[in-house]
Amino acid sequence: MNLKVQLPALQKQRDNLTLAERAELSCDLAKQFEKVGDYDAACKALAEFWPEANQPPNVEGLDETSAAAVLLRAGAVAGWLGGASQTEGAQETAKDLITRSIEIFDRLGQSKSSAEARGDLALCYWREGSYDESRIHLAEALSLLSDENVEVKAVLLIRAAIVEVDSKRFEVALNLYNQALPLVEQSQNHALQGSFHFEYGLLLRRLAVPANREEYTDRALIEYAAASFHFEQVGNHRYLALVETNLGYLYFTLNQYKAADAHLDRARHVFLKLKDAGMAAQVDETRARTLLAQGYVTEAERVVRAAVRVLERGGQQAVLAEALATHGVALARLGNDLRSRSLFERSATVAETAGDLEGAGRAKLSIIEELGEKIAAVELVSIYRSAIDLLKNSQDPASTKRLISCAEIILNTLARLETQTPEAVEDSWEGFSLKRHVKAAESSVIERALRDAGGSVSKAAKLLGFKHHQSLISLLNSRHKDLLKTRSTVRKRRRHILRPQGSRKAVAKRVIPVTKSEISILHVEDHDLVARTIGDIIAAENWQVDLCSDSDTALLKLTGNDRYDVLIFDNNLPGISGLELVARARKITHRRRTPIIVLSAEDCEQAAWRAGANAFLRKTQAMDQLATTIRRLVRDSKSATD
């Protein structure tokens, strides 16, 4: 049945129908358009009673039942349109209209209509990230229904499960889907069946990543395929694009970035065609995550910045909080620590204000993960305690893993500070060096000042009592080079403060070619098969490689004078780990700027970035991406040197 044909038909029937009959027909048609994701057409279906979408509907002359139905439908459509266009205040408008309809339905004792309206009201709160309020309204709605209301009950159970998935209460969500399944199986409604399979697939996808369970991934793919079938049957292109978005995210978690990009491209194309700026922005936020995972930080920051700008216009606070956190990660990896910290804090505030405690807790953990080395130990502990309080009811295994990882970061920081405390003078004075002890004490105090100043040399200099920050810079460059990594990134002035604008000469950028035979690589790997595989890749490019099988030999090579353009470290090495080897390399003067790639079979990407790596690759990615990554790093390194 072509719904679009019914719009002109509705206009022709107006003269032969009563006002109440026209209202009923308009509401039924609008509801059908909602089910296929065509919210503009739904709005047109209500045009007689709701000619201006930014104004309340005109229900004058309608009986109470018809007026309540128009108010409900207009409120539901306003909520969907607001989410798509990211219109400020749209969800509040939708909630007001739906609440008015609920008051009428309750007064008339129409429990089924009241339950349906409460379900739409819960959606508005869910879009805002107010999960507790959404949960309350859905519980009230379910309590009003009898067993005969199969489809409405199934819709409400699915919506309740969606709220629990976003709240990371996966066990509760699974129980709700189990309750909904027999009801969905009784229905022939393709829109309902598609919605069930899509949302259930989302739960399986969320369970698959932290548990590393392939069967969950496979089942999620099956559910998405089933959802696509049902959405195709009703012609719901918007929800087909949603499936593509979730497939893109699923392949991103599997490190299959080409497949992820293909699905995200298709989703974004459809959303832009439908003028759904909100969902297009969410696709961009997911794409930014894939770019970050591949090391394309500058591009990721540009993409997520645009997504945040769109999401700030609307009322979807939980989604905005996630995008702010992703933007914070990108800026942290670009060295913009102050702006990054500000975004993480804002993400936590936005999420907590909306009622998304889980999202607020994740933002707090991101501060520790991305900026832990530049924050005072006491403050790190405070941030961690705040995250624990926000995540104490979480059922998400990923949050638990992150809590453990952040605890390790804090413990390592405290241990490092402890070892930097000058040792007591031995009674025998054997081997004692006053110079060495004074330098160690000086180093400890300077590092503390830099941490408390957030990496800012100027602020740290003031804390230490220097009149000019150049005095501290001189100390760092001469006596404490190992602390250089603790300072924030030095940023060039946009122009000379004494040079008039417009006097700057244009300088053409010189493209620096990377000659294959000039590239020399140090590869540290103890696994023979992996070493041979990487060696074959490097040999195919006609590059020079020096192979070490343990960290001790690697340290000898690193402290020597051999020239290396790229360093490749396996993380699981005998002796010290690859991440520790990265940190050691960054303390060696002539290796401080040498590009480093960390290879690992484990998920330690964030730790690799913190240690000072320039790129992280899973061993499963090495065959496809290693050569490209090496070329990019060498080109960027030569451009920076030049």
User: From the DSSP assignment, how many helices (H) and strands (E) are in the chain?
Assistant: 28, 5
What is the C-alpha separation between 275 and 75, in angstroms, rounded?
20
Q: With contact defined as beta carbons under 8 Å apart, do 272 and 308 qualify?
A: no
Does residue 544 sit in the same domain as residue 633?
yes
d(CA 445, CA 454): 14
Higher confidence at residue 475 or residue 299?
299
Residue 581 CB burial class (10 angstroms; 0-12, 13-18, ≥19)? buried
| Nearest to 630, CA basis, from 506, 531, 507, 542 | 542
Task: Kindly calculate the radius of gyration of the chain based on its CA atoms and give it in whole angstroms.
Answer: 30
The pLDDT tens digits for 128-149 are 888 889 999 999 999 999 888 8
State CA 373 to chain mean position distance: 22
What's the confidence (pLDDT) of residue 459? 76
- CA–CA distance from 286 to each of 142, 257, 568, 609, 627 (Å)? 34, 11, 28, 20, 26
Q: What pLDDT, on the 0 to 100 scale, is given for residue 316?
A: 82
Mean pLDDT in residue range 142-160: 92
φ, ψ of residue 476 in degrees (nearest 5): -65, -45
67-72: average pLDDT: 94
Percent of the chain topping pLDDT 70: 85
Find tokens 């690193």 and name the residue: 558
pLDDT at 235 over 80: yes
Question: Residue 606 CB: number of other CB atoms within 10 A?
Answer: 17
Residue 555 pLDDT more than 90? no
Give helix 297-311 / helix 317-333 axis angle, nearest 10°: 150
Closest among 27, 70, 57, 19 to 45, alpha carbons compared? 27
Average confidence (pLDDT) over 47-63: 89
Q: Does residue 190 form part of some domain?
A: no
Which of 157-166, 197-206, 442-451, 466-475 is the least confident region?
A: 466-475
- Verify that 457 and 565 share a domain, yes or no: no
Indicate whether 587 belongs to any domain: yes
Positions of E strands within 89-139:
none
Contact between 35 and 72 (Cβ < 8 Å): no
Contact 510, 642 (CB under 8 A): yes
**Distance, CA of 502 to CA of 598 (rounded, Å):** 44
- Residue 527: CB atoms within 10 Å: 15
DSSP letter assigned to residue 307: H
Looking at the fold, whether 480 and 521 belong to one and the same domain comes out as no
Question: How many whole angstroms separate alpha carbon 457 and alpha carbon 638?
Answer: 27
Is 254 inside a domain boundary? Answer: no
Residues 570 and 527 in one domain: yes
Per-residue pLDDT tens digits for 245-304: 999 999 998 889 999 999 999 999 999 998 888 899 999 999 999 999 999 999 999 999
Question: What order of strands is seen across the sheet that includes strand 615-618?
Answer: 544-548, 520-524, 566-570, 596-600, 615-618
Q: What is the model's pLDDT at position 506?
A: 45
Look at the block and give the residue holding tokens 């959802």: 227
CA distance readout (Å), 206 to 172, 200, 217, 395, 396: 14, 10, 9, 11, 9
pLDDT beyond 70 at 8:
no
Strands 544-548 and 615-618: unpaired
Answer with the residue of higher pLDDT: 535 or 340: 340
Sole residue written with tokens 């229905």: 187
- 562 and 629 in a single domain? The answer is yes
Same domain, residue pair 473 and 530: no
Q: How many domains does the chain have?
A: 2
Does some domain include residue 456? yes
Confidence category of residue 185, pLDDT binned at 50, 70, 90: very high
Return the SS3 of 445: helix
Do 563 and 455 fall within a single domain?
no
H helical segments located in 212-256: 214-234, 237-253
The pLDDT of residue 212 is 61
% helix, strand, coil for the chain, step of 5 = 70, 5, 25
Q: Which positions ≥6 away from 266 have C-beta within 8 Å?
A: 241, 244
Tell whether 458 and 559 lie within a shared domain: no
| Cα–Cα dist 69/74, whole Å | 9
- Could you tell me if 523 and 546 are in contact, meaning their C-beta atoms sit under 8 angstroms apart? yes
What local confidence, expressed as pLDDT, does residue 3 receive? 58
Residues spanned by the domain of 451:
437-484
CB 593 within 8 A of CB 637: yes
Using an 8 Å Cβ cutoff, are 325 and 289 in contact? no
State whether the Cα torsion 489-492-494-498 is positive or negative. positive
pLDDT in tens, 416-447: 766 655 444 445 566 666 667 667 777 777 77
CA distance 425 to 440: 13
Going by pLDDT thresholds of 50, 70 and 90, the confidence category of residue 107 is: very high
Domain for residue 138, yes or no? no
Taking 50 as the threshold, does the pLDDT of residue 501 lie above it?
Answer: no
Rounded Cα distance between 390 and 382, Å, is: 13
Residues in the chain: 642
Residue type (1 letter), 396: D
pTM over 0.85: no
Instruction: Tell me, yes or no, whether 468 and 529 share the same domain.
Output: no
| Domain identity same for 587 and 536 | yes
Question: Is the pLDDT confidence value at 494 over 60?
Answer: no
Same domain, 523 and 628: yes
Tell me how crowded residue 239 is: count the other CB atoms within 10 A of its CB: 23
Looking at per-residue pLDDT, the higher value among 591 and 465 belongs to 591
- The partner residues of 616 in beta bridges, in order of sequence, read 598
Residue 496: pLDDT band with limits 50, 70, 90 = very low
pLDDT digits (tens, 9 = 90+) for 22-39: 899 999 999 989 888 888
Residue 373 forms part of a structural domain: no
Residues 527 and 635 in one domain: yes
Q: Is residue 545 part of a domain?
A: yes
Say how far apart CA 344 and CA 329 lie, in whole Å. Answer: 8
- The pLDDT assigned to 426 comes to 47
Asked whether residue 228 is domain-assigned, the answer is no
pLDDT number for residue 14: 66
